[in-house]
Structure 1
């Protein structure tokens, strides 16, 4: 269900939290929290992570450097602190201008600050594979 979302987030490999925790010694992998999504066929939001061990060495290092800020900004975003989240995502983009997931979050933060949050928003994006 997540394969179709990799392009949207610019992630080579995306997995659910459950799959991540089922990996043998998951801590040895390079990963970061990406989002909470509602995918087709599931009622509850699913936490998704990006595994980036397979990325080019330079990109992998940039994601490692920005992981803490990215995840902090995502936490703030899901708490509806969109202005703070946007600032931190912008700093992630300053370090790694190619971070497609951070770009996506900046656009969402701007949209929610401008137009407000939908009433049915469950701190997760309703995403559909394309």
Structure 2
């Protein structure tokens, strides 16, 4: 039962901290509406023109390449530790083979689309 008490106390502390932050914001934040407070702020540059612009969404490509090159390390390190155990070695070898195969398919797809060119 003590585990539930600790969990409940943690949730209660989180809710109380959230409420304290909201009350502090309400008490300390300025309430006067000014012209400069209602304008759009974009990295210190005043907005020019309309807010609509059609752009290419390149960050999806970077996220795709990040998954291929970086997140796989998160799975390869624990796999290397599990490989030491005798009864999990062959099974984990097949599983990591499938994992690396899927990553290689993604890498081949990125290379075919020309996403790996630097210039």
Same fold (TM over 0.5): no
TM-score w.r.t. length of structure 1: 0.22
Which structure dedicates a bigger proportion of its chain to helix?
Answer: 2
Which structure dedicates a bigger proportion of its chain to strand?
Answer: 1
Larger Rg: 2
Which of the pair has the greater relative contact order for Cα pairs under 8 Å at 6+ separation?
1
